[in-house]
Structure 1
Amino acid sequence: MTAVETSLSDLLNRPKATLATLRVARRIVLRRRGAEDLVLTTAARAEQDHEVMGVISHMLVEMMRTPAGRSLVLDVLPAAFPWVRYLPAHEVREFSVELFGALGAATELDNTAAVAQLITEWRHTAEVHADPELYAALITGSGEDFGSAPLPELRNRAVH
């Protein structure tokens, strides 16, 4: 069993019984109405996950340092990210270099947010390439330009 789902109310009302689930499950997913769900795990399991991801990231980054490794990565990238098939070959290479650079940095920072953002950005680039009309409109600039977009408002952002 890898994860058990329960509500935040269950944890608050029956904390011992809910947390006892961690003996057999790696994680407890706490479902919350109107808010992002939470995940609970033990510190030891979180450290194991971090260590494994760090080793995998370092191995992949080191693979990219060799021609054979880069070739292998380019061969398997479409299986991991099927949408790269819509990218031109030079952009697939660029994506792979950026991805593994970001993975290396994320491991050092213990924060994968930048990797997730990079994948999202490249997926959107592939979506543009997959749609001939959209691609043509962007390349020719035939669409209407509405000017600069306003900056988003920062709401109660605390800096620690």
Structure 2
Amino acid sequence: MGSDNTAVNFSDLVNRNKQTLARLKESPRLVLHRRDGEDLVLTTAARDEQDRTVVSAATRMLSAMARREPGSMELLLDILPDAFPWVRFLPEPDLHTFAVELVDTMRAADSVANSASVAQLLTAWQHTAEIHSDPELLAALTRSHDTDHGPVPDPREDA
């Protein structure tokens, strides 16, 4: 969460709701800390709509730019390390694949107004970059395993 957010306990919302909700005038979002669950974020419907509009516009612009001309993909590849420094660990073909998947996934996610798939894609590619950043881990994961241990038994047969 950015510094524009105010954090309060969920109990403040329950016990002092008017005072707590009044804080939305000072801050675009309230982070509600919960003892027995994941923290929640409270914002106004207008702010949420503004955020979605901005993300949607940026997504459409990036997508249009990437499809416009051949040189635009090279520009995207040039700026990705500024936005995601970890891409420097990706091999060149993977960097290109990441760029294409990112634009396509952002466009698809925007069409259904749900960014979960973009977050998942970024996390998966970041983990891939982390593997490439560690030569020992990369060697262990890409090593050829010539040993065949035979067919795997069906676990349902043991039941």
TM-score computed with the length of structure 2 as normaliser: 0.86
Runs of 4+ in 1 over 4 A off after TM superposition: 142-147
CA distance in 2, matches of 1:20, 1:138: 53
State how 1:24-103 maps to structure 2 within 5 Å. 24-65=26-67, 66-103=69-106
CA distance in 2, matches of 1:145, 1:5: 55
Structure 1: gaps (5+ residues): 151-160
Instruction: Confirm or deny: 8 A CA contact 1:137 1:143 kept in the other structure.
Output: no
Instruction: Confirm or deny: 8 A CA contact 1:77 1:84 kept in the other structure.
Output: yes
Aligned partner of 2:131 among 128, 132, 136: 128
CA distance in 1, matches of 2:132, 2:8: 41
CA distance in 1, matches of 2:105, 2:91: 21
Aligned partner of 1:17 among 1, 10, 19: 19
Deviation for aligned residue 1:32: 0.7
Instruction: Confirm or deny: 8 A CA contact 1:74 1:92 kept in the other structure.
Output: yes
Structure 2: gaps (5+ residues): none
CA distance in 1, matches of 2:145, 2:104: 35
CA distance in 1, matches of 2:146, 2:12: 52
Deviation for aligned residue 1:68: 2.6
Deviation for aligned residue 1:145: 9.2
CA distance in 1, matches of 2:119, 2:147: 30
Highest CA radius of gyration, 1 or 2? 2
Q: Which amino acid aligns with 2:141?
A: L
Deviation for aligned residue 1:143: 9.8
- Structure 1 pair 24/94, CA: closer, same or farther in 2 (3 Å)? same
SS of structure 2 residue aligned to 1:64:
helix
SS of structure 2 residue aligned to 1:110:
coil
- Structure 1 pair 145/113, CA: closer, same or farther in 2 (3 Å)? farther
CA distance in 2, matches of 1:130, 1:90: 16
CA distance in 2, matches of 1:55, 1:61: 10
- Structure 1 pair 61/129, CA: closer, same or farther in 2 (3 Å)? same
CA distance in 1, matches of 2:136, 2:147: 14
Whether 1:2 and 2:4 are equivalent positions in the alignment is: yes
Instruction: Confirm or deny: 8 A CA contact 1:5 1:29 kept in the other structure.
Output: yes
Q: Which amino acid aligns with 1:128?
A: I
Identity rate, percent = 51
